Amino acid sequence: MSATASITSASTSTAVELLAALRTVVKGLERMPIPVDPARAEAWSPAPRHVAALMQVVADEGMSVSTLAARLEVSLATASQLVTDLDERGIVERFPDPADRRRTLLRVADTHRELADTLLDTRLRPVQRALDRMRPAEQRALVRGLELVAEELGIQHS
């Protein structure tokens, strides 16, 4: 029996429902505007890669550029360029690791703390609230399921 023949209409229906739900979530996040100071808005409109990097820094201030690269699944050079872009606009800043002066860590600049809080409120906290409505086993199953889908698509999860 071929792999295609072994797929049941019930599992196909569930797969279609999952893809529709994922598409809805991703589109909703992509369409959600990034709150930018109107005085600065015309000077820079962040690309999705900048938003992804900023979300990581907002969620885990004090991370290194290499940690950011790993989380975004990009090269160290790409992560460094993203940080440079955000740093040049005064959104994030680099600071020396107090435990190892050779390492550079990242944080949201004080002048953009409100932006960071808004990103948390509009993007991260809704996801967290949804997860909080699930039992821990359901949370783990959701994450594991998405990891398996990524694996089937040939996408490596770091």
pLDDT attached to residue 110: 92
The pLDDT value given to residue 119: 80
Contact 106, 94 (CB under 8 A): yes
Residue pLDDT, tens place only, 66-109: 999 999 989 999 999 999 999 998 999 999 999 998 899 999 99
Question: Is position 146 within any domain?
Answer: yes
Q: In the chain, which residues have pLDDT < 70?
A: 1-11, 34-44, 156-158
pLDDT on residue 39:
60
Given this model, what pLDDT does residue 123 score? 82
Residue 16 placed within a domain: yes
Question: Residue 18 falls within a domain, yes or no?
Answer: yes
Residues 6+ apart with CB under 8 A from 64: 97, 103, 104, 105, 106
69 falls within a domain = yes
Q: What is the pLDDT of residue 1?
A: 46
Cβ atoms < 10 Å from Cβ of 120 = 15
Q: How many domains does the chain have?
A: 1
Quick check: is 4 in a domain?
no
Give the CATH number of the domain where residue 139 resides.
1.10.10.10
- The H or E element spanning position 105 is strand 100-108
Alpha helices in 62-112 (DSSP H): 65-72, 76-88
> If you compute the radius of gyration of the chain from its CA atoms, what whole number of angstroms results?
19
- 5 is a domain residue: no
Q: Does 158 fall in a domain?
A: no
In this prediction, residue 8 carries a pLDDT of 61
2 inside domain: no
Structural domain boundaries enclosing 66: 12-36+45-152
